[in-house]
């Protein structure tokens, strides 16, 4: 018994140190786990920061094309994230004493390559490891994003016909409205522009603006390239000219030679009673003559539809366009509409000014003409018409992305090749041509995205029948057939029109795929 008690005493002496050793080991494992857990959480947070920074930089690079602006935007975004999460950038005295150590950031933007890289480094606090001479856990994260190489060529067709002057008071003057449909359209078009070009000129997005009513209007230099005719020509003609001049005129007249009674009575009839003499004086003399002259004639700038078998194609503009004729008026402009087509440009200022200039609605609706020229402005087959910077990319170019937005507020009513299409009543020929053009531009080898906006074709936001169930002659059916499922809009007032244009802008930006994380 005494022996057993001694054994128990010896056992207690052995267990106590063992327990102490185990406790110390467990405490060490817990300490290490806490240090590394803290480091892992910080690393995850820093990776999130790095991803957000490169996305911000890539978006700025996409919309501005300026690498320095992209770096500035990225640095500002990072500072905001760090401040909000109780971190600081290394070397920033204003944020001294951060909770988890200062963060060193290196951001590089490749303007030509479109690659943006962010490297974030810091040291996570490690209290337990400090007992072993370690001052923390080094954390190093990298994120990379690539901007889209797609170039969006988009044509915006805008209706400038008489009905666009009808009342619409839903967009207030403080927002740019003027109480008309035309005013609401201008505001909506600028909404679209702001979504696609939020930071100003965008090297990866170019837009054309195609106003239409009874005709489309081209600048004279473009008209000459389309028709193959010179901008001006000289004409010789004859003109009847009447002139009055001050001249010395001499006349022969009779003068009496005597006052005898006989001659006084008969002197005009008796040669012996008078003599002839010449008298000269300065007088106004008027003469009318035919004179040969020359004058300069100017190519007219109004275009009607293409004719023949290529009506619904974008074949190069060598045939099919009617001769517009010439005028003696150098400032002659297409009266309907007054605004000429704006070819592709990435200048937001230019596009904004063009949209602002659309203020005088008038005329009938040749919607097929607007549809055709919207396509022509983004078609590489019409590259010879435009200036170098305005020429569309080839369909086969891997960078190319093409779209048209067809905006109208009513039935197509006018076709120059159909005498029954007088601009007042619905026109079957204009509808047929518009559908054929849309089908052709959406073909696989062209791959143009078509969006259609029928403004005021419904009078409320209540559910409407699906446009595919509507008769062929309904304007909504025409636009649906042009755009296809998911790309048609029937806004009933100015505010709904603005939302439609915003939705189109968002869809195009998403389709362009502006930024992709590559890490």
Which of 347, 503, 454 has its CA nearest to residue 467?
454
Q: How confident is the model at residue 513 (pLDDT cuts 50, 70, 90)?
A: low
> How far is Cα 215 from Cα 369, in angstroms, rounded to an integer?
7
HSE, CB side, 13 Å, CA atoms: give it for residue 199. Answer: 18
Do 55 and 517 meet the contact criterion of CB atoms below 8 Å apart?
Answer: yes
Q: Which of 154, 187, 181 is nearest to 342 (CA)?
A: 154
* Interval 64-81 mean pLDDT: 85
pLDDT at 259 over 50: yes
pLDDT of res. 383: 97
How does pLDDT run across 294-343, given as a tens digit for each residue?
A: 999 999 999 999 988 788 999 999 888 988 999 998 887 675 556 899 99
Of the candidates 404, 509, 382, the residue with the CA atom closest to the CA atom of residue 448 = 404
Q: How far is CA 284 from the centre of its chain?
A: 65
pLDDT at 516: 65
Within 10 angstroms of residue 442's Cβ, the number of other Cβ atoms is 16
255 and 275 in contact (C-beta within 8 Å)? Answer: yes
- Mean of pLDDT over the chain: 85
Over residues 62-69, mean pLDDT: 78
From the list 486, 516, 515, the residue with the least C-alpha distance to 503 is 486
Q: What's residue 133's pLDDT?
A: 47
The more confidently predicted of residues 86 and 47 is: 47
> CB atoms < 10 A from the CB of 320, how many?
16
pLDDT tens column, 21-35: 544 444 444 445 565
Q: In this predicted model, what pLDDT tens digit does every residue of 382-417 receive, in sequence order?
A: 999 999 999 999 999 988 999 999 999 989 999 999
119-152 residues labelled b (16+ CB within 10 A) or e (exposed): ebbbbbbbebbeeeeeebbebebebbbbbbebbb
Q: Cα–Cα distances in Å, from 391 out to 69, 319, 347, 351?
A: 27, 20, 14, 16
Q: Which pLDDT tens digit goes with each residue over 153-204? A: 999 999 999 999 999 999 999 999 999 999 999 999 999 999 898 878 888 8
pTM of the model: 0.72
pLDDT of 13: 54
Q: Does position 80 have pLDDT exceeding 80, yes or no?
A: yes
What percent of the chain has a predicted confidence (pLDDT) above 70?
A: 84
The rounded distance, in Å, linking the Cα atoms of 422 and 429 is 11
Strand partners, 250: 280
What percent of the chain has a predicted confidence (pLDDT) above 90? 52
Q: Summarize pLDDT for 414-463 with one digit per residue, the tens.
A: 999 998 898 888 999 999 999 999 999 999 999 999 999 999 999 888 88
pLDDT band at 95; cut points 50, 70, 90: very low
More confident residue, 14 or 332: 332
Q: Do the Cβ atoms of 143 and 519 come closer than 8 Å? A: yes
List the beta strands (DSSP E) in 385-477. Answer: 400-408, 449-454
Query: Mutual orientation of helices 67-84 and 2-64 as an angle, nearest 10°?
Result: 150
Instruction: Judge whether residue 245 has pLDDT over 60.
Output: yes
What pLDDT is attached to residue 514?
59
Residue 446 to residues 97, 251, 427: CA-CA distances in angstroms?
A: 59, 85, 27
Is pLDDT larger for residue 61 or for residue 365?
365
| Mean pLDDT on 462-480 | 93
- Least confident residue range of 77-91, 119-133, 222-236, 255-269: 119-133
Mean pLDDT of 119-143: 71
């Amino acid at each position: 018994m005494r022996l057993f008690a001694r054994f128990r005493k010896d056992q207690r002496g052995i267990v106590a140190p063992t327990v102490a050793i185990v406790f110390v080991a467990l405490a060490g494992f817990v300490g290490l786990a806490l240090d590394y857990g803290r480091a892992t959480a910080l690393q995850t947070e820093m990776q999130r920061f790095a991803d957000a920074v490169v996305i911000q930089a890539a978006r700025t690079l996409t919309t501005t094309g300026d690498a320095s602006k992209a770096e500035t935007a990225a640095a500002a975004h990072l500072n905001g994230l760090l401040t909000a999460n109780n971190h600081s950038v290394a070397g920033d005295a204003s944020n001294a004493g951060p909770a988890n150590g200062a963060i060193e950031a290196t951001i590089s933007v490749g303007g030509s390559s479109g690659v943006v890289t962010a490297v974030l480094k810091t040291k996570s606090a490690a209290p337990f490891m400090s007992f072993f001479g370690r001052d923390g856990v080094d954390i190093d994260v990298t994120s990379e994003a690539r901007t889209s190489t797609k170039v969006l060529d988009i044509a915006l067709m805008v209706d400038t016909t008489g009905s666009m002057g009808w009342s619409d008071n839903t967009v207030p003057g403080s927002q740019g409205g003027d109480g008309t449909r035309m005013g609401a359209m201008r505001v909506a078009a600028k909404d679209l522009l702001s979504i696609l070009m939020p930071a100003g000129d965008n090297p990866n997005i170019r837009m054309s603006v195609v106003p239409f009513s009874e005709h489309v209007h081209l600048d004279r230099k473009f008209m000459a390239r389309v028709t193959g005719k010179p901008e001006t020509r000289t004409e010789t003609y004859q003109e009847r000219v009447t002139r009055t001049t001050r001249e010395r005129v001499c006349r022969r007249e009779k003068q009496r030679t005597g006052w005898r009674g006989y001659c006084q009575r008969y002197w005009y009839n008796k040669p012996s009673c008078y003599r002839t003499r010449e008298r000269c004086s300065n007088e106004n003399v008027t003469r009318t003559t035919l004179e040969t002259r020359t004058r300069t004639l100017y190519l007219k700038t109004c275009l009607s539809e293409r004719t023949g078998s290529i009506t619904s194609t974008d074949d190069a503009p060598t045939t099919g366009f009617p001769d517009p004729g010439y005028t003696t008026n150098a400032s002659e402009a297409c009266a309907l509409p007054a605004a000429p087509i704006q070819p592709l440009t990435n200048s937001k200022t230019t596009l904004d000014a063009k949209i602002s200039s659309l203020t005088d609605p008038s005329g009938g609706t040749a919607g097929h003409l607007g549809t055709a020229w919207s396509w022509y402005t983004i078609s590489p087959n019409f590259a010879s018409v435009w200036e170098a910077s305005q020429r569309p990319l080839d369909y086969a170019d891997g960078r190319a992305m093409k779209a048209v937005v067809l905006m109208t507020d009513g039935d197509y009513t006018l076709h120059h090749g159909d005498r029954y299409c007088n601009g007042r009543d619905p026109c079957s020929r204009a509808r047929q041509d518009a559908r054929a053009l849309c089908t052709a531009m959406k073909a696989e080898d062209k791959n143009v995205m078509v969006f259609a906006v029928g403004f005021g074709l419904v009078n409320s936001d209540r559910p409407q029948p699906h446009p595919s169930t509507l008769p062929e002659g309904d304007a909504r059916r025409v636009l649906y057939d042009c755009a296809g499922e998911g790309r048609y809009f029937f806004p009933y007032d100015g505010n709904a029109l603005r939302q439609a244009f915003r939705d189109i802008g968002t869809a195009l930006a998403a389709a362009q795929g502006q930024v992709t994380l590559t890490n």
